[in-house]
Amino acid sequence: MTDNSKKIESAHAHRKDEHLSLVIWQWRHILPYSGLQFVRLDRPVLPNIRTDQVDHSVDLFGRHFDWPFYIEAMTGGSLRTGVINQKLAAIAKKYHLAMAVGSESIAISEKEAISSFSVVRETNPEGFIFANIGAGHSLDDAKEAVKIVDANALEIHINAVQELSMNEGDRDFSAWKNNIAKIIEQVQVPVIIKEVGFGMSKSAIKDLADLHPAAINIAGAGGTDFGRIEEARNRESLWETADQNNFASDEDKKEAIEAEDDLDFQSVLTSNTNLGISTSESLRFAKQANTALPIIANGGITNSLEVFNAMALGAKMAGIAGYFLFQLSKNNLEHTIESWQKQLPLLYAIYGAANSFQISQLKEIDPYDSLN
């Protein structure tokens, strides 16, 4: 990795470091909730399978993945986050996992930030790497993001809630749909459209499917909450931010002043409890949407059983971001991944599933059946 330690980092790079610290803080203090821990599947009492028959690999984007989970997009853009990316890339290489980098928007505008992303490809030359860019970016920016990490695929993140929670965030989303359509049509790698922790409804998934991406990542609520993270950075609520930007009426301003000490009121717009759709709910909506597109699960996943349950609800793969970052901060990520890779084949066998397709055919138990 190029040594830029003598350079003074930009405000954008500082924001990346703030995100990193606040994500770890969230995972240390707030209990995640994907909803996947409560999925109940119809389990055969006679599985009729040997554990050495289990094939836990997944085929997606024309590639063969050894495991049905991967390191999802987290960080990059500063010296500190570059070191994190290097560590994650080394772990991805060791355990044969795909990996996504965080938003590369900073590397598009600040060339000195490029090395904090390109280090992933340098560390893992043969690995499957997802580039990452926001929906507000142009086709040229998307191509540059792919080039920086020599990516095998591109994630386009849609993060309106996060942007509106930032003082410096975007306020114009009118070009997003056209940007995404152009990128999907013209980049030379598979494109995945992903949320950033607020989930997707049935209609949202259908709308995105009309753009013909290679896959959709529903990125449900219950894990990292970027709305709250941005409010923590702002040291104020979204209401107060709106007031400063002259979006609020006089009546709204009066109510905001009266509610200064009401934390529930201040965080209502950015709380996942109010805006978010959990990972399990989003996966069920994806099933109902029935688009035939591969679905990726992400959001609050913390163990191998939740990965398995996500696949049973229709996910092709599961991405894990915040929880892996938290485990890395405790020097425990390698142990976590090793445990998951030992546990998953056992879970397959418990449910009599020889492969990922058979997991997708498992039936969810209707809690009302026992009343009949």
Residue positions in the annotated binding site for substrate? 15-16, 162
Q: Is the dihedral of CA 20, 25, 26, 28 positive or negative?
A: positive
φ and ψ of 147, to 5 deg = -65, -40
Cα angle, residue 57 at apex, residues 185 and 322 outer, rounded to 5°: 70
Helix 139-149, helix 176-186: angle, nearest 10: 50
* Amino acid residing at 37: Q
Closest-CA residue to 126 (of 98, 163, 106, 154): 98
- Alpha carbon separation from 67 to 83, 108, 223, 317 (Å, rounded): 25, 31, 21, 8
Give the distance from CA 302 to its chain's centroid: 13
Which segments are annotated as binding site for FMN? 73-75, 103, 132, 194, 224, 321-322
Which segments are annotated as binding site? 15-16, 73-75, 103, 132, 162-163, 194, 224, 321-322
Q: Are 205 and 286 in contact (CB under 8 A)?
A: yes
Which segments are annotated as binding site for Mg(2+)? 163
